Structure 1
Amino acid sequence: MFTMAAISAAITFWVVSVHRRWLAEKLVRLAKQRDIKPVRAIKKQAAAP
């Protein structure tokens, strides 16, 4: 039983991490297409004197 739970947890973790990476890559691609600056760059620009 424990083995099945461990295998199931490992598969779930892998699927979530792959989906997260895919989503991040898609967001980066969209930002490049629309020439959107990351939030960090906007905050740095606003903080600069």
Structure 2
Amino acid sequence: MGNYTQREWRLSQSPSKSRADLGQTAALGGTTVALFAYIVYHFVYPLVAKGLLF
């Protein structure tokens, strides 16, 4: 076997790629929070208000 040097793949990414990854993560997190808020507001809150859940 010949000599093989292992390269870290993260070192080759440009800063703009990391910013794009962070933006995509933030968008996915925001969508998740918005969906959770929608479910709570439209399905859970009316049950609590009517006294059916608690």
TM-score (norm 2): 0.58
In percent, how many aligned pairs have the same letter?
6
* 1:1-49 equivalences in 2 (<5 Å): 1-30=14-43, 31-32=45-46, 34=47, 36-37=48-49
Q: Which runs of 5+ in 1 are unaligned?
A: 38-49
Counting matched residue pairs gives 35
Task: Look at both structures and tell me which one has the larger radius of gyration over its CA atoms.
Answer: 2
Over aligned residue pairs, what C-alpha RMSD do you find?
Answer: 1.0
